[in-house]
Structure 1
Amino acid sequence: MALIKTGCPIWTHEQWFGSLFPANTVKEQSLGTYARHFNSVEGNTSFYHIPDKKTIRRWAEQVPNDFCFTFKFHRSISHDKKLLNIKDDLHLVLKRMALLEDKLGCLILQLPASFNPSQLGTLTHFIQLLPKNFRYAIEVRHLGFFDKSDNEKAFNQLLLENNINRVIMDTRALFACPANGDKVIEDAHRKKPRVPTNVIATSDTPLVRFVGHPVIQTNKPFYTPWIHKTKQWLDEGKSPYLFFHMANTVDAPWLAEAFFNDFKQLYPDTLIPSIILPKTHNNQLDFFGA
């Protein structure tokens, strides 16, 4: 069984029918079809809506036993209440996610950019409320957590002491692409955090969110260091989570495929996910009209 868990930020997209999925795939079966290619997903749906029991059980039934969902805490906890007075919200989220049993990977707490180092005590209290039988990852976006100061050291130490992942966000490839009036790229530049890529494993399941350049081939120099780092983590006995994003989301599966193809070339004897996809419907080389 591959120790790497990998996937995309969603498991279905209307443009995947006829490309990633067979054209006759029923929408309700798209999760099961997605799970033939990937063994995890960064489920953003729970950030906006806490799924009901029936939905969660249906999801769990559609994927194989080695598949792990990686869901986010609901925004009411992280953004609306800013980790204060959230015991009831937290109890509900954890109770629902527990229904996934062994198919639950990490739970991600994505904090807003306004959450700053002065609120580290609030985060510490929140962590104390978390049961130990789940894996967690925390993503920060305030630059005060990236400045190599005592604030950043205190944050990293808090995560290390509690075996919680610091989400590693790599948006360098995305921001290497000028928008040039492209609305999709402009929107991605506006929404994705432009923060330093801080490579640190604060738990045994390091979690990377790689946001790619729209031309898949252009990503190679950006993701190749992650191949070497992932191999190092595997050699250290860690089990990394790698999630691949694109500005348009549509091409994210093929970015993941390119990454693992190159991984296999560099480390042919390493057990990694085998991702073999249909050819993408986009001509990546013609993105700029070349």
Structure 2
Amino acid sequence: MWTHASWQGRFLSSRLPAGERLRSYAGWCNAVEGNTTFYATPSRGTVESWARQTYPDFRFVLKLPKPITHERRLTGVEQDLHPFLDAIEPLGPRVHALWVQLPGSFGPLDLALLSGFLRGLPRAHRYAVEVRHRAFFEDERSARLLEKVLAEANAEWVPFDTTFFFAQPPTTDAEREGWARKPRMPRRVRALTDRPVVRYMGRDDAEATAGSWGPWVDTVTAWLREGRSPTFFLHTPGNREAPALARRFHDEVRARLPELEPLPEPPADEEPLTLF
């Protein structure tokens, strides 16, 4: 998620080849969702380049490959899991969490599979699980059973908050596409570990998005005061202004907690940024 065409020359240096643009992104934000790993396990050389382009406390939240979570549904996955874990080894502590995104069909009756899978994973990594089955959000017993499975593995529950995105009909082509593809997920603000991970979906209207995230500013601030280390990922349908919006969110949290470290300064050789 660091090579959007609309970011080139604005958030990403136009002087860098595609394989080096993570370096520019890391000057804007200190964490990234590793969505590409869902579609293919990267080569070790590629991962080594990611490590070279980021500082040691940069956070990667890497999605497990699709064959593991969606095709084999967490069973008999060794032939895909071990090559993936070997490939990401050069990132070392930059791997903040491995992200287990499960399909919408993975429901309460499948929790035994999830439990066994999490128990078999190496303890060298932390894990964060995203579920999309409605029962986990609408049935208290199902939610508690999932929380128990996650707690036993010290794994986090990743909320994908799309409530604001679906609150009004779409007004742009990107929003219309998102309405057809994105899951309608409720807001969930309960953290299970000291490393909460949140995914938030805004709109293409940057000001409207910034006006919508107040409850999450409250929650993230409270988590930080409790000694947790949250990671907040902000999306919009086109993601055109996502890095600037992410920094704006961080600034709002930091206004309440001045002791929170600032984000890195963007590279000085970038073109001046027009936010909105």
Q: What's the TM-score, normalizing by structure 2?
A: 0.92
The one of 192, 214, 235 aligned to 2:182: 192
Q: Displacement, 1:166?
A: 0.2
Establish whether residue 241 from structure 1 lines up as the match of residue 231 from structure 2.
yes
The one of 47, 58, 63 aligned to 1:67: 58
Residue number in structure 2 paired with 1:7: none
Q: Displacement, 1:105?
A: 1.2
CA separation in 2, counterparts of 1:267 and 1:206?
Answer: 18
Q: Displacement, 1:275?
A: 6.4
CA separation in 2, counterparts of 1:272 and 1:175?
Answer: 31
Residue number in structure 2 paired with 1:145: 136
8 Å Cα contact 2:30/2:264 also seen in 1: no
Unaligned runs of 5+ in 1: 1-9, 285-290
Q: Displacement, 1:167?
A: 0.2
Q: Percent identity?
A: 34
Establish whether residue 260 from structure 1 lines up as the match of residue 250 from structure 2.
yes
SS in 1 for 2:32: strand
**What code does the residue aligned with 1:90 have?**
L
Structure 1 runs, 4 residues or longer, greater than 6 Å off: none
Structure of greater relative contact order (alpha carbons < 8 Å, 6+ residues apart): 1
8 Å Cα contact 1:38/1:275 also seen in 2: no
* Superimposed CA distance per residue, residues 10-40 of structure 1 (whole angstroms, 9 cap, x where no aligned partner): 1111121121134333323211111111111
Q: Displacement, 1:124?
A: 0.9
State how many pairs are aligned.
272
CA separation in 1, counterparts of 2:102 and 2:34?
Answer: 16
Alignment of 1:149-188 (within 5 A): 149-180=140-171, 182-188=172-178
Unaligned runs of 5+ in 2: none
CA separation in 1, counterparts of 2:200 and 2:144?
Answer: 23
Q: Displacement, 1:268?
A: 3.1
Q: What's the TM-score, normalizing by structure 1?
A: 0.88
Alignment of 1:17-28 (within 5 A): 17-28=8-19
Establish whether residue 279 from structure 1 lines up as the match of residue 257 from structure 2.
no
SS in 2 for 1:24: coil
Q: Displacement, 1:219?
A: 2.0
CA separation in 2, counterparts of 1:207 and 1:96?
Answer: 23
Q: Displacement, 1:79?
A: 0.6
Alignment of 1:76-225 (within 5 A): 76-180=67-171, 182-225=172-215
Q: Displacement, 1:150?
A: 1.2
Give the stretch that moved more between structures: 107-116 or 89-98. Answer: 89-98
